[in-house]
Amino acid sequence: MRKLVPVFLLLLAATAFAAGEETWKGVSLVDTMCSAKVKDKPDSHTVSCALQCEKGGFGIYTSDGTYLKFDDNGNKKALAALKSTKQTDHIRATVVGERDGDTIKVKTLSLN
């Protein structure tokens, strides 16, 4: 049985890698409607503005300045997180999902 544990862990890791799952940590969460306006200073974007612009969806700015939009599931997770946070700005998140072009199929999202 002990010999099977490393094999199982290796298979699990290979499956996650094959699925293309990525993690973005500490990235700026911004609504799509304001993404171009706040590109140079995403930390100044406020939670109240993001909630006002929720119909356009959400996304993140990666460390290289690329804006990646969320799929519908990610938009729902982002909206729920924004509604429950006490933060007012500097909206940073950790997102796990699969990138498909300029969209992330979000598996999990949490605010930092």
Report pLDDT digits (tens) over 31-79.
Answer: 999 999 999 999 999 999 999 999 999 999 998 999 999 999 999 999 9
Residue 67, domain member (yes or no) = yes
Residue 39, domain member (yes or no) = yes
Count how many Cα atoms sit within 13 Å of the Cα of residue 35 in the half-sphere of its side chain. Answer: 20
Measured at the alpha carbon of residue 59, what is the angle toward residues 112 and 107, in degrees to the nearest 5? Answer: 70
**Range 98-107 average pLDDT:** 98
Instruction: State the total domains in the chain.
Output: 1
Residue 86, domain member (yes or no) = yes
Pairing of strands 92-100, 103-111: antiparallel
Residue 63, domain member (yes or no) = yes
Pairing of strands 67-70, 92-100: unpaired
Residue 11, domain member (yes or no) = no
Indicate yes or no: pTM above 0.85. no
Range of the domain at 30: 21-111
